[in-house]
Structure 1
Amino acid sequence: MCFVKRVINCSRRSPFATIGQLVAHLRLLERKSVKGHVRCPCGSGRRLRDCHAELVRKQRVRVPPRLARRMLVRIAEELRRIRGTG
């Protein structure tokens, strides 16, 4: 997973440090557009516009939707490999 974290510049102190939060963040990045009323992927329960909207905006410039989709596929493959189910 470190390849994904490097691309979107996550660190242990990042709000998107867990796999679930990282996947939620990538799902936002793969959308055509992101509305501020969606829940923030950091897990706070707050709306994106009231939480990490600026971070997501910056990441959308750096990570195009097609790349986010490829990262999600790669994460799924890696998790299947780790779990031994495919």
Structure 2
Amino acid sequence: MTTPSAQQPRNPLHGITLERIVTELVDYYGWPGLGDRIQLRCFNVDPSITSSLRFLRKTPWAREKVEGLYLFMLREQRRYGER
């Protein structure tokens, strides 16, 4: 039996939930910083994890932007030795 990490060893998003991605982005940038980087109503007007997840699950292009920012955040953290 192959483990999930062995199936996609180079995919940093494999096995990470959308909720975890959004939560980590909010922890890192805060809602205002996240809303500045990705102009979405769910990040700028009465933001919450629940409303953001609801929108992102229905909107593939927005989810791609969030995943891209998450990957950028991971690279930034590695570069500056955070985490």
Higher helix content, 1 or 2 = 2
Query: Does the pair score TM above 0.5?
Result: no
TM-score bucket (shorter structure): 0.3 to 0.5
**Structure-1-length-normalised TM-score:** 0.33
When Rg is computed on C-alpha atoms for both structures, the one with the higher figure is 2
